[in-house]
């Protein structure tokens, strides 16, 4: 039997079709994967936002206590006389530490400074030593120049036992920082080397 002169053409067309279908399927796969990934990312973001929303936020500014701050780096300690009698430590996130080291002022958006405070306690182990007693407050300053144009670009939060204090107290934050240290981007604490 004479071979069909169309056979090679048909075979080629068939192979092409298969290749196209395969390529199409692969493309579809990649597409699906990208879609899945975008969905996952959106879900993650929504979860983060919900978590952030669920956190107690300060009045006026909506500032929350940052996660993981206990692992932040030390800017400087401080000691407060009576009647508060507190030991304090000011900590900064990475942006804060870099700005302090490089002398960048104003601090860039995203800078966060936290002041931890404890009652001053005589060491039970050594008379002349003072050590941290009960934790009293956590105070937070967040730099976001677009969100807080009226307070030098800083949002403030003061928390006792994880809960923000009232609006009245938050009205005093910027006033005091502005009155004393407006020439240092409203930040008191200097980097302790
Ligand atoms: C009467 C003045 C005064 C008021 C009011 C005040 N602060 Fe401060 N703040 C200070 C001083 C002084 C320091 C320096 C560290 C220290 O002495 O404890 C400081 C330090 C800080 C720091 C560390 C960064 C820095 O500037 O050194 C944060 C964060 C902070 N305060 C947040 C707040 C918040 C939030 C409020 C309002 C609820 C507030 N402060 C109200 C005087 C004040």
Q: Say yes or no: 93 and 179 in one domain.
A: yes
* Per-residue CA distances from 2 to 5, 7, 13, 72, 111 (Å): 8, 11, 21, 84, 83
- The CATH number of residue 170's host domain is 3.50.70.20
* Range(s) of the domain holding residue 88: 69-184
Residue 51 CA to ligand 1 centre (angstroms)? 27
Q: For residue 119, with 0-12 CB atoms within 10 Å meaning exposed, 13-18 middle and 19 or more buried, which class applies? A: middle
Q: Say yes or no: 29 and 108 in one domain.
A: no
Evaluate whether residue 60 is within a structural domain.
no
Residue 31 CA to ligand 1 centre (angstroms)? 52
134: region left, alpha or beta (phi > 0 left; psi from -120 to 50 alpha): beta
Q: Say yes or no: 78 and 128 in one domain.
A: yes
Please check whether residue 144 is in contact with residue 111, taking contact to mean a CB–CB distance below 8 angstroms.
no
Nearest CA to ligand 1 atom 16: 78
Mutational test site, ligand 1, from 83, 151, 176, max ligand atoms within 8 Å of CB: 176
Q: Say yes or no: 24 and 80 in one domain.
A: no
Name the pTM for this structure.
0.82
Evaluate whether residue 63 is within a structural domain.
no
The CB-side HSE value for 71 (13 A sphere, CA atoms) comes to 2
Residue 177 CA to ligand 1 centre (angstroms)? 7
Residue segments in the chain with a per-residue pLDDT below the cut of 70: 1-27
Q: Which of 125, 105, 88, 68 is nearest to 182 (CA)?
A: 105
Residue 173 CA to ligand 1 centre (angstroms)? 7
Residue 165 CA to ligand 1 centre (angstroms)? 14
Q: Say yes or no: 80 and 43 in one domain.
A: no
Evaluate whether residue 189 is within a structural domain.
no
Evaluate whether residue 62 is within a structural domain.
no
Q: Say yes or no: 92 and 123 in one domain.
A: yes
- Give the pLDDT score at 117: 98
- Give the pLDDT score at 2: 47
Q: Say yes or no: 89 and 150 in one domain.
A: yes
Evaluate whether residue 6 is within a structural domain.
yes
Q: Which of 19, 115, 3, 117 is nearest to 63 (CA)?
A: 115
Ligand 1 neighbours, Cβ below 6 Å, are 78, 80, 88, 90, 113-115, 139-141, 156-158, 169-170, 172-173, 176-177, 187-189
Q: Say yes or no: 3 and 79 in one domain.
A: no
Q: Say yes or no: 126 and 39 in one domain.
A: no
Atom of ligand 1 nearest to the CA of 186: 26
Task: Cis check for the bond before 83: say yes or no (omega within 30 of 0).
Answer: yes
Q: Say yes or no: 35 and 88 in one domain.
A: no
In angstroms, the CA 186 to CA 173 distance is 10
Q: Say yes or no: 88 and 142 in one domain.
A: yes
| Tally of structural domains, the chain | 2
- Give the pLDDT score at 182: 97
Evaluate whether residue 111 is within a structural domain.
yes
Residue 183 CA to ligand 1 centre (angstroms)? 15
Please check whether residue 177 is in contact with residue 84, taking contact to mean a CB–CB distance below 8 angstroms.
no
What is the average pLDDT score of the chain?
Answer: 90
Evaluate whether residue 59 is within a structural domain.
no
Q: Say yes or no: 95 and 47 in one domain.
A: no
């Amino acid at each position: 039997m004479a071979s069909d002169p169309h056979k090679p053409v048909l075979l080629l067309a068939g192979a092409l079709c298969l290749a196209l279908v395969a390529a199409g399927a692969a493309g579809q796969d990649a597409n699906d994967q990208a879609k899945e990934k975008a969905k996952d990312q959106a879900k993650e973001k929504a979860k983060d936002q919900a978590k952030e929303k669920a956190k107690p936020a300060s009045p006026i500014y909506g500032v929350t206590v940052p996660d993981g701050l206990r692992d932040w780096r030390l800017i400087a300690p401080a000691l407060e006389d009576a009647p508060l009698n507190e030991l304090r430590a000011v900590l900064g996130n990475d942006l804060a530490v870099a700005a302090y080291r490089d002398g960048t002022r104003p601090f860039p958006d995203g800078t966060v400074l936290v002041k931890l405070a404890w009652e001053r306690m005589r060491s039970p182990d050594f008379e002349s030593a003072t050590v941290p007693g009960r934790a009293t407050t956590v105070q937070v300053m967040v730099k976001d120049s677009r969100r807080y144009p009226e307070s030098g670009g800083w949002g403030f939060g003061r928390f006792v036992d994880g809960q923000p204090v009232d609006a009245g107290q938050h009205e005093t934050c910027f006033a005091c920082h502005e009155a004393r240290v407006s020439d240092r981007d409203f930040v008191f604490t200097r980097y302790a080397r």
